[in-house]
Amino acid sequence: MKIFETHAHLDFSNFNNDRKDILKQFFSSGIEYIINVGIDEETSKASIDLAEKYERIFVSVGYHPHDAKKFDKNVILQLSQHRKVVAIGEIGLDFYRNLSPQDVQRKVFEEQIILANELNLPIIIHDRDAHEECLQILERNNPQKVVFHCFSGDEIFAEKIIQKGWFISFTGTITYKNNKQENVVRMVPLDKFFVETDSPFLSPVPQRGKRNSPLNLRYIIEKMAEIRGLSPKQIAQISYENAVKFFLKDRM
């Protein structure tokens, strides 16, 4: 079974004591590729350092909405030239925590979409409590390849994303009791989704509350398989193929 972990933050200090060991374990457990995602300059650079050490790690660089106030266009322009950088993200709007002012978030989000378009790179979206505004800003810039990471919208919003030809990515939240994504998992076209852990965050049941790691991707795959009436192997394979096409097509 080939597995593609499409969103993790393995450069974070949560992994400082055992990063080497767990990466060894990940890659011998069927995980073929990992996209390590930056949230600012420091973590984007740290992601690149990791990708230089591990052939099967690729990188997304960008300023998370929480860090929008630190945005420096030249950092993205420079880092995106690295051979392992395959996406811009995670970028977007977070009107739940509002750690950067909303007007700064909007401006920085749009500037990074424009950059991604110029660089011809896919975009990883972080959208929390800002669905319609995310959509509006995206629509007026018309990027080709977009994934809504840790999708948190309803079926109506999912339908809009799918209509655009964009992707939806599911985390451990689909394993939580009372999650609202079950119908979205049920309706998403099989060529329009990925799975991801967002490690070290959002551990799936039965690991909830502990540090998350890409090894837990199997719980998300199993849950999705159960909802769709497919085997875990099928879900893993489809997500793998979708992600290779989306992130790595021009690299292989």
Catalog residues that contact Zn ion under the rule CB under 5 A.
Answer: 198
- In the bound state with Zn ion, the residue whose beta carbon lies nearer, of 9 and 131, is 9
- In the bound state with Zn ion, the residue whose beta carbon lies nearer, of 232 and 246, is 246
Rounded alpha-carbon distances, angstroms, from residue 170 to 99, 164, 186:
24, 18, 12
Q: For the purposes of burial, counting CB atoms within 10 Å of the CB of 95, is it exposed (0-12), middle (13-18) or buried (19 or more)?
A: middle
- In the bound state with Zn ion, the residue whose beta carbon lies nearer, of 126 and 232, is 126
To the nearest 10°, report the CA torsion of 227, 229, 232, 238.
-90
Angle at 205 between CA 190 and CA 89, to 5 degrees: 55
Q: Which residue has the tokens 């969103």?
A: 7
* Nearest distance in Å: CB 173, Zn ion: 12
Rounded alpha-carbon distances, angstroms, from residue 68 to 103, 105, 244:
10, 6, 29
SS3 state of residue 123: strand
* Nearest distance in Å: CB 9, Zn ion: 6
SS3 state of residue 138: helix
Collect all residues with Cβ–Cβ distance below 8 Å to 128 and sequence separation of at least 6.
Answer: 92, 93, 94, 95, 96, 97, 152
* Nearest distance in Å: CB 38, Zn ion: 9
* Nearest distance in Å: CB 12, Zn ion: 10
- In the bound state with Zn ion, the residue whose beta carbon lies nearer, of 123 and 232, is 123
Q: Which residue is nearest to Zn ion (CB)?
A: 198
* Nearest distance in Å: CB 89, Zn ion: 8
- In the bound state with Zn ion, the residue whose beta carbon lies nearer, of 23 and 91, is 91
